[in-house]
Amino acid sequence: MSEWRTIYLSDSSSGSAKDFVVPTDRNYRIESILATLVTSAAVTARNVYLAAYTSTDDVTQPLFRANAGVNFDPSLTHYIEFSGSTVRVEGDGLTDSGWTHVTIPVMEALPGTYFFVESFFAADGATGIEDDLGIRALIDIRGTKDST
């Protein structure tokens, strides 16, 4: 296999869920995913989680799942940091009025692995007013074949 290098991944399109797939002949290791959640005015508690599945065809049993464990209020901007190397901020203890941290496993993801970040409840159509959730990720990547 080749050496690790770091790539940046950004998705600020509208919608309350974001996803990405590990490319063919590549392995990923997540260093950090910062999710920026802009909640709508709908009065309902949102939760946010990050999950990884073996593929886009197999989304019932996750390889891992990590919930923020925070009820995110409406009409605010929240920042959720997913990383394997910092300490979890638990419960509703948001820091600096909108920042929280979720510890995730430092794991190497194989080609085809499907990563999914979602603000749920809002995505369930409880109010019809969808949140916006954007992500910026730092990812270690390496080739899985000697020639890549």
Supply the minimum distance, in Å, between the C-beta of residue 1 and other proteins. Answer: 7
* Nearest residue (CB) to other proteins, 23 versus 105: 105
Minimum Å gap between C-beta 61 and other proteins is 5
Give least dist CB 83 to other proteins, A: 9
Residues within the interface to other proteins (CB under 8 A): 1, 27, 47, 49, 54, 61-69, 84-85, 87-88, 90, 103-110
The 3-class secondary structure across the chain, one letter per residue, is CCCCEEEEEEECCCCCEEEEECCCCEEEEEEEEEEEEECCCCCCCEEEEEEEECECCECCCCCEEEECCCCECCCCEEEEEEECCCCCCCCCCCECCCEEEEECCCCEECCCCEEEEEEECCCCCCCCCCCEEEEEEEEEEEECCCCC
Q: Residue 14 or 126: which CB sits closer to other proteins?
A: 126
Q: With respect to other proteins, which residue has the nearer C-beta, 62 or 74?
A: 62
Minimal distance, residue 105 CB to other proteins, in Å: 4
